[in-house]
Amino acid sequence: MGQRPHRKGSQPEPRREDFAPAARATGPRGFDKGARDEQRRPLLHSGQTVELTITGTDEDGFGVANHEGTRVLVAGALPGEQVVARVTYVGRRETFGNLLRCLKSSPDRNPAPACDMGKACDGCPLIQMRYPAQLAWKKELVSRHIGSHRSLDKVKVHDTIASPKELHYRNSAKLVIAGKFSDPVIGIYRRNSHDVLEIADCPLHHPLINKVVKAVKAGIKKGKVPIYNAKSEMGLLRYLVVRVAESGNAVMAVLVTSEQGYNEIHHLAKFIQDAVPEVAVVAQNINNSTGNVIFGQRDRFLTKTHTLRAYIGEKSFSLSPRSFFQVNSGAAGIIYEKVREFAALKGSERVIDVYCGIGGISLFLADRAGEVVGIEVVDSAVTDATENAALNHVHNCSFEAGDAARLLEEIGEEGGAQVIVLNPPRKGCDAKVLESAAALQPEKMIYVSCSPETLARDLDILSRLGYRTVEVQPVDMFPQTVHVEDVALLVREKHRD
């Protein structure tokens, strides 16, 4: 029946950002509302060629068509198009196809997409769509989720703010190294597979990332560096992680290995630096574990410099090999400025930044707050945040590591806060965190989200805890993909006191 295309949760690390579940609503740009759970006898077979009319898209960016009662999802097809597609997978609930050609094209179709690997690589499912149409698509996606809750029916969803760059915006990449030293492959996993798709010149990567990838590949060949094989658990090189500090065009290359391999890695590091003079840091991360976790717990540096200096807006950040940092620093600056605008601080407020990471939002708010307290469960992130505060000469920020709900309760005993920022991972906030935040009765909450679905869920919960969502601002952090960041402003309903 063919290989089922990637859906959320089926793909191993390292991945580009996971895609959300399929949409089931209507809208002006054609989100499909077909009944996902309806059981139908398959009328199509894998390999069959069929003409289809695309009536909508799902949240993974697939075009949606109906063929004699069978729901067909076509990668790369846009609403309103008539297409010829080849069926690649037939399931009880979903049938998938690849676009062969358009008989009638949408005016939203990009006539010259920057990459032609769409059939093999699912990293850029919207690259066939003109950028203004992508922004409208993302606004509708957010509006659909917000509108699915009655408590949020009066919330204003603004037009999506564009990324400063549509291409080459990613300042970091995590890539698999596979194959043999005589013919290495550096890239990402293919859909629903452990086979590695080579990514030689990705249009989303900063050009220096692509340059480093080519240098590493050449260095592996020249030095005959053994590549790790997950099945045999033999070999040395496992992953390549590249970071670029755009402001100074400085690069960090992290070679993740299964063991020490000092001589091979030392010579490879020198080769990379000779080939790409912008490489300022080369680190070896040693990961002896099995599975798809990228980083181990040990770093060894092969250069005198151990960190990169990166910037978001006017704030600088020191990045070590395993530091978290926003992959699109230009769009991150827009998000941080929007948080600062929504907070509208007057200089005396106490702000709690929950899930603060390395302190980006905290540092942006500190200049206009009386005090900022960052909360983060990852110890190393708190260490980085503390160092970044010192780097920026910020003295009214402190950071605490631990469970967010517990720390919020402790902060409540110390006097509460006037503003709380919530910036959770894709799964959203635990209910206990939302309850603990609301119990502090801040005048405002600002919720930064990378998932419209969990954002809407949590805003609905907060509405029952006495907080009204005023507005939501989508920001395009990841052009050409289905992902969108959102910043939501909530205010306390005082009549509930």
Query: What's the pTM?
Result: 0.88
How many whole angstroms separate alpha carbon 361 and alpha carbon 359? 6
Whether 202 is a known active-site residue: answer no
Residue whose C-alpha is closest to residue 354's, from 414, 393, 311, 406: 406
Q: Confirm if 149 and 155 have CB atoms less than 8 A apart.
A: no
**DSSP per-residue letters across 340-387:** HHHH---S--EEEEET-TTSHHHHHHHTTSSEEEEEES-HHHHHHHHH
Bridge partner residues of 253 (DSSP): 242, 282
Query: What distances in angstroms separate CA 118 from CA 13, 132, 250, 431, one per listed residue?
Result: 19, 20, 30, 38
pLDDT digits 0-9 by tens, 430-448: 999 999 999 999 999 999 9
* pLDDT score of 158 more than 60: yes
Lowest mean per-residue pLDDT among 31-45, 133-147, 448-462: 31-45
Residues annotated as binding site for S-adenosyl-L-methionine? 326, 355, 376, 423
Q: Which residues contact residue 79 at a Cβ distance below 8 angstroms, ignoring those fewer than 6 apart?
A: 29, 30, 54, 55, 56, 57, 63, 106, 108
pLDDT of res. 72: 96
pLDDT digits 0-9 by tens, 474-496: 999 999 999 999 999 999 997 65
How many whole angstroms separate alpha carbon 209 and alpha carbon 170? 9
Average pLDDT on 388-413 reads 95
Average pLDDT on 245-264 reads 90
**DSSP per-residue letters across 161-182:** BPPS-SSS-B-EEEEEEEEETT
Backbone angles phi, psi at 468, to 5 degrees: -100, 130
Q: Confirm if 296 and 257 have CB atoms less than 8 A apart.
A: no
CA 43 to chain centre: 37
Between helices 207-223 and 262-275, what is the axis angle to 10°?
130
Q: Give the chain's domains with CATH numbers.
A: 1-109 (2.40.50.140), 147-162+333-496 (3.40.50.150), 172-319 (2.40.50.1070)
* pLDDT score of 69 more than 70: yes
Positive/negative CA dihedral, 421, 427, 431, 432: negative
pLDDT of res. 146: 98
pLDDT digits 0-9 by tens, 347-375: 999 999 999 999 999 999 999 999 999 99
CA 438 to chain centre: 28
Highest mean pLDDT: which range of 26-35, 370-379, 405-414, 487-496: 370-379
How many whole angstroms separate alpha carbon 68 and alpha carbon 314? 57
pLDDT of res. 495: 65
Q: Which alpha helices (H) appear in 189-348, and where do they start and end?
A: 207-223, 262-275, 329-343
How many whole angstroms separate alpha carbon 62 and alpha carbon 458? 27
How many whole angstroms separate alpha carbon 401 and alpha carbon 423? 15
CA 160 to chain centre: 17
pLDDT above 70 as % of the chain: 90
Please give the order of strands across the beta sheet that includes 172-180: 196-198, 183-189, 172-180, 237-245, 250-257, 279-286, 298-301
Higher pLDDT, residue 17 or 238: 238
pLDDT of res. 15: 40
